[in-house]
Amino acid sequence: MAVASFLDSFTIEQDTDLVSFEIRIDGSKISGAFHIVSMTIAHDINKVPSAQLLIRDGSASEENFAISDEEVFITGKKIEIELGYHNKNKPIFKGVIITNSHRVNSHCCEMTIDCKDERVNMTSSLSGNNHLNKSDFEIVGDLLRLNKLPEPEKPVLGNEIRHEQLVQSNTSDWDFMVSRLDVAGLFSFVDNGELFIKKPVLNADPVLHLKHGVNIFEFQADIDSRVQSPEVKTKTWDYQEQEVRTTDNDDPAEIDQPTDSEEEKSLKTTIDQIAAVLNKAFLIRGSYMTSEEQQLITNSKRIRQVLSRIKGKVKFQGTVRVRPGDFVKLSGVGKEFNGNVFVSGIHHDYADGCWFTEAILGWDESFFAEATNPKHAASTSGQISTIQGLHIGIVTSLIDPNGQFRVKVRLPLVNESDEGVYARIATLDAGNDRGSFFLPEVDDEVIVGFMNDDPRHPVILGMLHSAKKSSPNEPKDSNPQKGYKSRSGIRLIFDDEKKSVLIETPGNRMAELNDESGTITIKDPNGNKIIMDKNGITLESTAKDIKFKAKKSIKLEAQNIIIKASGDASMDAGGKAIVKAGGQTVVKGGTVMIN
């Protein structure tokens, strides 16, 4: 009796001698005459579930594939799979048929049907979008609604971080969704067509007890010290405070796996002991984040390391009792591996009337964005797929509501219709209350790069001319002129051929220093001109008067002074007038009147 009770505690399913299944296509059960050779169903954390059916079909003598010709397994049809024992079946997969393939060899003819959960449409194309002032879970909801998919129940998150701007660049909606959940310390999985978003519960009770020699058919696992570290640190540049901000993960003792018994803990090598092999902190270097976001990503990476302590797989009798995100308890597999282990995937295999389930043990220590989307490498902090190269931007606003002197710029290849995101400006000189302040104009085309390849932190590197927005200066191979022309037409021109500098307003008021002519010239559109050259200084007004006015004295001093008037000449003194000469004094006129 005691032996029976012991074995019952490890029983996964009752009466497993007869495996049964049911497959429905568009709600209708398929014919029992179809020979299903095998079925493979995979449910993994952060992946779209898949199923593959191998069906005996095809006849050389009849020269056809009869089952395929019935058009039961046409791509796009909905499929549901149930597995169980003695016709007590339970749902195990729901999705759509993606591919139908035929194979013929010397032994047999077969048809293979590949299926995916309906969320596969979120992976079908690379998208671009700007997500402004939203939390990660709100972004998830937006992406699901965009793909006409139901939203999951919201997990308990505490204080949610709202992102001022998140750029989704050349990334599928699924990958972007999962990458945002990932760094928030969450994971997703789909069970029977329903999306779940969960936070790892490190002290959760195991849903299954698996023991070597009792109910484990196959087992393989390893412990790798290279993926463990004594602590996780994140360093970012806080441009608002102009300093490096360093964040340490919360106390590892508080997030270590507390599910093992004290006896089990005493027998196995702890995470800290494994980490001590290399004894090196895991360092994340990232672009600017809020302090809350920085703490969250640091803790998330640490939890990933904790849950990756053991990685491997264990095979047992087929069951639907275990889902991704659960814990299973292992016994008899060695003291280092005994205890509760996180399950990141569940794979079901049916063949020849047998059904086995394989649990994928441990969670990869890398963030999702570090391991996906090979077209774009992950940012060094693993938060999001990077945006690479330089991008075109169109300026939409010059006012930064946060007072950080950023410019709002639309990235048309990311999203051509919205207002864009805020970007800092790389300028000639910048410092406290000093520097150059050449801002672009609204609708200007600019070139944009990204800090640390992080699409959330764009920087305007320069501005661009084109045929539509032409340069104010006609280019020449000799390239004689450099300069600037403002929106209103104010010009500052440096001419290397003339060796001159010109400042000119749109009203034709100008000042020029010219080495070629040896002149300094100031003139206006009224005919007034000042010329300084080797012959002296010339003041000229071709339209009106030249007036000299001083509060005290105007003094003219030279070897010779000549005053000539083509009309009248007069001198009027309110006080005493003196005309004095060291030599002869000559006063001439048609009539000379004195007093």
Which residue segments constitute the domains of the chain, with CATH numbers given?
Answer: 14-120 (2.30.300.10), 125-200 (3.55.50.10), 225-309 (no CATH), 391-463 (2.40.50.230), 481-541 (2.20.220)
Residue 65 has pLDDT above 50, yes or no: yes
Confidence label for 272 from pLDDT (cuts 50, 70 and 90): low
Specify whether the CB–CB gap between 410 and 396 falls below 8 A: yes
- β-pairing, 421-425 vs 458-463, is parallel
Gap between the Cα atoms of 336 and 219, Å rounded:
14
291-307 and 173-183 helices cross at what angle (nearest 10)? 90
Gap between the terminal Cα atoms of the chain: 152
Give residue 287's pLDDT: 75
Place of tokens 């001198």: 571
Instruction: Residue count of the chain, please give it.
Output: 595
Judged against a pLDDT cut of 70, whether residue 266 lies above it is answered with no
Helix (H, G, I), strand (E, B) or coil at 267: helix
Contact, 46 vs 119, CB < 8 A? no
> Above 70 in pLDDT, residue 424?
yes
pLDDT digits (tens, 9 = 90+) for 437-446: 999 999 999 9
pLDDT band, residue 244 (cuts 50/70/90)? confident
Q: Annotate 556-565 with b (16+ C-beta within 10 A) or e (fewer).
A: eeeeeeeeee
Question: Which two tokens mark 137?
Answer: 């879970």
Q: pTM of the full predicted structure?
A: 0.76
Flag whether pLDDT at 58 surpasses 50: yes
Q: What's the pLDDT score for residue 486?
A: 94
pLDDT exceeds 50 at position 271: yes
CA distances from 421 to 408, 481, 584 (A): 5, 35, 83
Residue 134 CA to residue 36 CA, distance in Å, equals 47
Q: In what order do the strands lie in the sheet with 232-238?
A: 243-248, 232-238, 282-286
Q: How far apart are CA 360 and CA 343, in angstroms?
A: 6
What was the pLDDT predicted at 243?
82
Calculate mean pLDDT across residues 405-421.
Answer: 88
pLDDT at 372: 66
The band of 108, judged by pLDDT with boundaries at 50, 70 and 90, is confident
Stretch among 5-14, 48-57, 63-72 having the lowest mean pLDDT: 5-14
Mean pLDDT, rounded, for 30-49: 93
Lowest mean pLDDT among 186-195, 307-316, 558-567: 558-567
C-alpha distances (whole Å) from 305 to each of 256, 301, 363, 383, 576 are 10, 6, 8, 16, 101
pLDDT for position 353: 92
Query: Rounded CA gap, 372 and 394, in Å?
Result: 30
Q: Find the range with the poorest average confidence among 283-292, 322-331, 544-553.
A: 283-292
Q: Answer whether residue 592 shows pLDDT above 90.
A: no
Instruction: Please report which residue ranges of 320-463 form alpha helices under DSSP H.
Output: 368-371
- pLDDT at site 277: 57
Higher pLDDT, 540 or 242: 540
Over residues 35-61, the mean pLDDT reads 90
Which range among 72-76, 166-170, 343-347 has the greatest average pLDDT? 343-347
Beta-bridge partners for 237: 244
Which tokens sit at 185?
Answer: 């310390």
pLDDT in tens, 190-237: 998 999 999 998 889 999 999 999 999 999 999 887 777 788 898 888
Question: In the predicted model, what is the mean pLDDT of residues 84-88?
Answer: 95
Q: How far is CA 482 from the centre of its chain?
A: 37
Q: What is the 3-state secondary structure (H, E, C) of 53-79?
A: EEEECCECCCCECHHHHCCCCCCCCEE
Up-side HSE of residue 349: CA atoms within 13 Å toward CB? 9
3-state helix, strand, coil in the chain (%, to 5): 15, 35, 50
What pLDDT does 139 receive? 93
**Beta strands per DSSP E along 332-441:** 339-351, 354-361, 391-397, 407-410, 421-425, 430-431, 434-435
- Looking only at the bridges linking them, the beta strands covering 434-435 and 430-431 are antiparallel
Single-letter residue type at 186:
L
What digits encode the pLDDT tens for the residues 481-513? 999 999 999 999 999 999 999 999 999 999 999
Q: Which residue has the tokens 């959940």?
A: 181
Query: Above pLDDT 70, what percent of the chain?
Result: 90
Question: What pLDDT digit, counting tens, does each position of 341-391 carry?
Answer: 999 999 999 998 999 999 999 998 888 877 765 555 556 556 667 788 888
Q: How confident is the model at residue 330 (pLDDT cuts 50, 70, 90)?
A: very high
Q: Bridge-partner residues for 39, per DSSP?
A: 53, 350
Among candidate residues 228, 236, 377, 362, the one with its CA nearest the CA of residue 296: 236
Tokens 């296509």 found at? 25
Percent over 90 (pLDDT), the chain: 50
What average pLDDT does the structure give for the chain?
Answer: 87
Residues 413-424 have a mean pLDDT of: 87
Looking at 147-257, list the stretches that DSSP marks H as alpha helix, in order from N- to C-terminal side: 173-183, 252-255
Ranges of H-type helices in 98-238:
136-146, 173-183
Model pLDDT, residue 90:
96
| Mean pLDDT on 421-439 | 92
pLDDT for 11 equals 72
**Most confident listed range (85-99, 107-121, 221-235):** 85-99
Of the ranges 230-239, 247-256, 338-347, the best mean pLDDT one:
338-347
What are the backbone dihedrals phi and psi of residue 189, each rounded to the nearest 5 degrees, phi first?
Answer: -155, 155
pLDDT digits (tens, 9 = 90+) for 544-566: 888 889 989 989 898 898 888 88
Lowest model confidence (mean pLDDT) among 41-50, 139-148, 269-278, 545-554: 269-278
Q: Is the model's pLDDT at 254 over the cut of 70?
A: no
